[in-house]
Amino acid sequence: MRKKSTNFYYGLPIWRPFANLTYSASLLPSFVQGLITADSRKTHTSTKFTIENPIYVSFLKSLVEEYNAAINANVDYVADADKRQRFNFLKLVTQSIQELEKKQGEVLELRSMMAEEDKEMKLLVDKEIIRLKKEVQIIEKELIDILVGQDSADNKDIVMEICAGVGGQEAMLFCAELFLMYRNYAHFKGWTVTGLSIEENEIGGTRKAVIEINGESVFKHLKYEAGVHRVQRVPKTEKAGRIHTSTVTVSVLPQPSEVDIDIQPHELRIETFRCSGPGGQHVNKTDSAVRIIHLPTGTVSECRQERSQIKNKETAMKNLKIKLYQAILEEEDKKRQATRKLQIGSKGRSEKIRTYNFQQDRITDHRSKDDFSNMPQFMLGGQGLDDLVLSLHQFEKLQLLESMLDSYRTEISKTKATKG
C-alpha cells in the first residue's frame, strides 16, 4: 500500500505545507541553525561547544573553580547524596577539562614553531597539529557527554502503548504500521518484545497495541518516540483520492525495577491475643490471629486463617511486604501516569512530534527539524529509524547543554548587575 501511493503521485508537483517551517532558519533557535546546514545524519557538531567559544570556556572554568572550592570545603559526602553526586560530576568534568587544556597547550606550542623555515619540519608540525586537533575534538565530545550526564531510567525496560488517534480507519491502519515498525526496530536492536494486548479491527488496522520491550538501553533509544505521530497520505479507504491527515499516539513508559523491601524489626508492632500474662505452659489460648503494624507507614496487615500462630505471623508478614511493595508501585504508577499525559498531550493533530508524508517520501521530526527520506525502508524500523533516534539523542544533548549555558549566562549578567 505504501508503494502504491508513492508511485501514484510520482511526478506530480509536490506540495510542501511545512516547507517554510522546516527550512527557514530564522524561525529556529539560533544554535540549531548550524545543525540544519550540516548533514544531520552524519555529524551534529556545533562550534558552540568547543574551546573556540569564550562563553563556553568561561562556563567550564566556573565548573573547575567550583570543583576546587568543593575539595577545600569540608562536606560530609557520605551523608549527603546530592552533594556527593555533584562532586563526582565536577571531578569528572575537571579531569576532562585539564586534559583538554594540555592538548590545547601543545597545539599552541606547535603553532609557535610554525615560524620555522624548514619545509620538512613544517610538514611534520602540520601533521602533528592535525592529529592533536582531532584528539581535542574527541575530548570535547566526551566532555559534552559528561556535562549532559545520563538519564537514570535509560537502562530500564519499557511498556510501549501505540494508539490510533484522530482519523478513524486510516489512523488504525497507520497504527498497525507503526506497531510493526517498532517491533522490527526491537528485533533490529536485539531486544525482546512481548505483546501485552493488541486490539485489531477487521480491515487489518490496530486500535491499540501495548507491548513490553526488554533489552539493553531500551528506554534510552525509544523515549523520543513518545508523542503524536502524524501521517499524511491518501488512505486505502479513500475513494476520491484526497490526502488525509491522521494521527497515532505513542507513549513510552519505563518499567519500575524490582524494589527490595527492607523491614527492620524495630519498625514493627506485632499484636496477638497472647501478649499479656506469663505465656508458655502457663496458658492455653487458641486464638492465633496476628496483626502486624508497620510503624513508619502505618500499614496494617492481619492474618487469622491458620491455627498455628507462627504460620499466621508468616502470612501476615508476607502480606505486609506485598502491601508496602504495592504502595511503592502505586507511587511509581502515578508518576508514570503523569509522564504519559505529558507525552501524549491532548491527542490532537497539533502536538505532533513527527510527520510521515508519503506523497513526498519525507519523514520530518519536528523537534530536531530533521528530514528523512526513503519511507518504505524507514517503516521497516531498521537503520533509517536508528539514524533518526541517534540524531534526536544528539539534539537532546545539545539542547540540554544550551540550557545550561543559558542559565550560566543569566547568572553572570546578574552578578555583573549587582556589582555594577
Is the Cβ of residue 103 or residue 294 nearer to another protein in the bound state?
294
Question: Contact positions toward another protein, by CB under 8 A?
Answer: 270, 272, 274-275, 278-288, 304-311, 313
CB of 324 to another protein, least distance (A): 21
Alpha helical stretches, state H, 118-208: 119-148, 168-189
Spatial separation of the C-alpha atoms in residues 36 and 25, rounded to whole Å: 8
CB of 327 to another protein, least distance (A): 25
Spatial separation of the C-alpha atoms in residues 413 and 419, rounded to whole Å: 10
Is the Cβ of residue 99 or residue 306 nearer to another protein in the bound state?
306
Let me know: does 185 contact 386? Beta carbons within 8 Å: yes
CB of 318 to another protein, least distance (A): 15
**142: phi then psi, degrees, rounded to nearest 5:** -60, -40
Is the Cβ of residue 214 or residue 272 nearer to another protein in the bound state?
272
Is the Cβ of residue 66 or residue 306 nearer to another protein in the bound state?
306
CB of 260 to another protein, least distance (A): 22
Burial class of residue 170, CB neighbours in 10 A (0-12, 13-18, 19+) = buried
Let me know: does 248 contact 231? Beta carbons within 8 Å: yes
CB of 366 to another protein, least distance (A): 58
Cell numbers given for 420: 555594577
Neighbours of 122 (CB within 10 A): 14
CB of 298 to another protein, least distance (A): 21
CB of 261 to another protein, least distance (A): 21
Is the Cβ of residue 212 or residue 271 nearer to another protein in the bound state?
271
Spatial separation of the C-alpha atoms in residues 8 and 21, rounded to whole Å: 27
Is the Cβ of residue 312 or residue 355 nearer to another protein in the bound state?
312
Sheet holding 227-233, edge to edge: 192-200, 206-214, 158-164, 244-254, 227-233, 352-357, 362-365, 370-372
Torsion of CA 367, 371, 377, 381, to 10 degrees: -10
Is the Cβ of residue 211 or residue 303 nearer to another protein in the bound state?
303
Cell 505529558 belongs to residue = 342
